[in-house]
Structure 1
Amino acid sequence: MSKPTQLTPFGYALAGALGGCFSNALVYPLDIVKTRIQAATAESGASDEEKLSILGVLERILREEGFMGYYKGFMATMLNTFSMQYAYFFFYSFVRSSYIKRLAAKRPAGSAAPPLSTAAELLLGAAAGAMAQIFTIPVAVIATRQQIGRSLDGPKKPKSKGKGKAAEGDVESNGSISDGEEDEYDDSFLGVAREIIAEEGVSGLWLGLKPGLVLTVNPAITYGMYERVKSVMLIAKGETNANAKLSPWMAFTVGALSKALATVVTYPYIMAKVRIQARSADAEDAEEEHLSLPKHNKPHHKSGHHHVGALTVLARVWRRNGFLGWYQGMSAQLIKAVVTQAFLFMSKDQFEHWALAIMVLFYRLRSAKP
């Protein structure tokens, strides 16, 4: 085993995962806010714009859940961030380096491979994102449920209560169940996982996979745009060295702009995915059926087996709220996503140095063994 002098795909994956956890931890309360706003539906009594504002949700969480409410599901989200970032960076580095090697093999010996086109960057990023999504989405589903609170359709939720006092506090703007219904609810990572499996079966851990696969274009757009703008700026500065780096603040700015563009383009599907994973879309669908059908004709869906698709969610939102409804919670998502991604890009080089140091340390520990 030779001493590592540069990062392997595993090293880049580790650097990306550590940077992702760091940047997400910095803005985690915003993550809670954006998830609760996205999951809120008309049936939850959350149509009041003030209740769906960033400050409104922050104030509500502090009043009803205390300061620790801002960090609900923190460990699951960090695990999801680490696993997703690790998987994405690993697959992205792997497919990108493999593709570049294939291009280089077709060129004369000693000549450098041409820079990748934007289309190639996007396709490679999407492929990496799809592979990462399939492996990591169960943790994302659990993290979303923990952030929202008790499942909207869980077996412990009393079903005999009408639209009285209990129903009014049912999900409101943050998608969580009212205090009156919190009877020994286990909101730990394993507790939520058990609840999901009890409601849906094991396949419930992959809720939202289809929109998740569509959303693989998000990091693809982000990193494709980042690499393209980065190369243009370095060329403009006269730096043609392959190892040339942007300054931290320039990387921050380019990262923020790249993520903002990707978020605006894909946001409707982001919102639909959250509603599917939080089951607020299913609860809304069941409520519509309850109100529209005569009592003797109402379908009896077994909990967890009747799921609404992303296109159905978007069509319903369009009918009720128009185009702007597709961007409910957009400001919170945009602020969180842009700041997180910008910090990630700004700290990327530093975390790559740390990842290399960890690899060197691992090498020395292995070499010291008799």
Structure 2
Amino acid sequence: MPPVDARDDVVEAAAGTLGALLALVTTYPLITLNTRQHVTRRRERDGDDGDDAPSTSSLSSMYDGIEPALVGTACSQAVYNYWYSRANGTYRARRGRDATGAASLAIASFAGCVNVLMTLPIWTIVTKMQADTAAAKLRSATSEGGKKNGDQNGSGKKKRSFFDIAREVVRDGGVCGLWQGLTPSLVMVANPALQYAFYETVAKWRLKRDRKTTLSAPEIFVFGACAKFGATMLTYPLMVVKSRLQVVSKDMADDRMRYRGTAHAVRCMAAEEGLGVFYKGIETKLTQTILAAALMFTVKEKLAESVYAARRVLV
């Protein structure tokens, strides 16, 4: 971690973005799998232990939506890291020190809210793209002609593009439909807020205790993983609800998944599928999110450290 007075908003944003992109590409199949776990209904109460969607997919289908996800991640990380660094810089200028504890959490929450409002439309479409292939496979399972037509997803229809799904979202819910799941998304700001606040607090404590200016790569990896584990366990139910809301469509055959809002979705899911549905796929998510967070923090810190070191040599 670079010295406090050497921090730069643009460097922090760029390093965070590159770290997040690497983490996304590495763990994207797990993200897709987890999204499909979120949006498939459990049928245990109907006497069936299975889910409503096939359990297997081709490797290529596990990267459905990767292109807009890369754009979304770049935008999200740039926005989040920039505003987090800028707000922390303002706090530091006024107080003479970096924010810690509650102040750090408040700054992270502010940056997270700005990020959600600016980038949620991209993630709404990405979520639908991830779920689209699984839904198509389910439709083809009840139709014998699907795969004979040479389609890409086995549903009798061509694989839909980012813009196809964007048009569907706007058709079903107007422009505001692009912000489906806004309420749980804003509440879920607590996830990265808790993650960053915990990481920054522990990192600063370690630096102060050991009287050094940078953390080692293993330390960054472990601190980032621990921070993400705690944040994910606390906010995972909201992730499930958000995914359900984002895949709602007028064309859905299952009327039980046409939720009217966050509260209605929570009530229906709990009543029809049990409380366990809110932690469905938690093992997949923990594996993906801890690995991604650890990679992201490690790359971010080491890239920023290299830039600051080069700057000191050149100046």
Establish whether residue 350 from structure 1 lines up as the match of residue 278 from structure 2.
Answer: no
**Which of 165, 175, 187 matches 2:142?**
165
Query: What does residue 295 of structure 1 align with?
Result: none
Query: What does residue 190 of structure 1 align with?
Result: 163
Equivalent position SS for 1:192: helix
Whole-angstrom CA distance in 2 between matches of 1:14 and 1:263:
24
Q: What letter is aligned with 2:95?
A: L
Query: What does residue 14 of structure 1 align with?
Result: 14
Change (3 A) 1:151 1:91: farther
Tell me the C-alpha RMSD between the 2 structures.
3.7
**Which of 79, 101, 115 matches 2:71?**
79
Change (3 A) 1:192 1:356: farther
Residue deviations 1:230-257, cap 9 Å, x none?
A: 1222233233xxxx12111111011001
Whole-angstrom CA distance in 2 between matches of 1:273 and 1:318:
15
Q: Is the 8 A contact 2:43 2:51 kept in 1?
A: no
Deviation at 1:17, TM superposition (A): 1.0
Deviation at 1:353, TM superposition (A): 5.2
**Which of 193, 205, 230 matches 2:178?**
205
Deviation at 1:73, TM superposition (A): 0.7
> Identity percentage over the alignment?
27
Change (3 A) 1:225 1:6: closer
Query: What does residue 292 of structure 1 align with?
Result: none
Q: Is the 8 A contact 1:275 1:281 kept in 2?
A: no
Equivalent position SS for 2:57: helix
Q: Which runs of 5+ in 1 are unaligned?
A: 105-112, 159-163, 170-176, 289-305, 360-370
Aligned ranges for residues 50-69 of structure 1 at < 5 Å?
A: 57=55, 60-62=56-58, 67-69=59-61
Whole-angstrom CA distance in 2 between matches of 1:46 and 1:346:
46
Query: What does residue 32 of structure 1 align with?
Result: 32
Q: Which runs of 5+ in 2 are unaligned?
A: 147-151
Change (3 A) 1:45 1:201: farther
Q: Is the 8 A contact 1:30 1:336 kept in 2?
A: yes
Change (3 A) 1:358 1:333: farther
Q: Is the 8 A contact 1:15 1:354 kept in 2?
A: no
Whole-angstrom CA distance in 1 between matches of 2:249 and 2:113:
25
Whole-angstrom CA distance in 2 between matches of 1:13 and 1:201:
32
Deviation at 1:322, TM superposition (A): 3.4
Q: Is the 8 A contact 2:88 2:99 kept in 1?
A: no
Deviation at 1:200, TM superposition (A): 1.9
With structure 2 as the length reference, what TM-score do the two structures score? 0.83
Q: Is the 8 A contact 1:268 1:314 kept in 2?
A: no
Establish whether residue 236 from structure 1 lines up as the match of residue 205 from structure 2.
Answer: no
**Which of 172, 184, 197 matches 1:224?**
197
Equivalent position SS for 2:211: coil
Whole-angstrom CA distance in 2 between matches of 1:246 and 1:86:
23
Whole-angstrom CA distance in 1 between matches of 2:180 and 2:50:
30
Paired residues, number:
301
Q: What letter is aligned with 1:81?
A: T
Aligned ranges for residues 1-370 of structure 1 at < 5 Å?
A: 8-42=8-42, 57=55, 60-62=56-58, 67-104=59-96, 113=97, 115-149=98-132, 165-166=142-143, 179-180=154-155, 182-185=156-159, 187-239=160-212, 244-279=213-248, 283=252, 286-287=255-256, 307-352=259-304
Q: Is the 8 A contact 1:83 1:136 kept in 2?
A: yes
Deviation at 1:334, TM superposition (A): 1.1
Question: Structure 1 or 2: larger helix share?
Answer: 2
Change (3 A) 1:251 1:7: same
Deviation at 1:47, TM superposition (A): 9.1
Deviation at 1:215, TM superposition (A): 0.7
Question: Larger C-alpha radius of gyration, 1 or 2?
Answer: 1
Whole-angstrom CA distance in 2 between matches of 1:196 and 1:250:
43
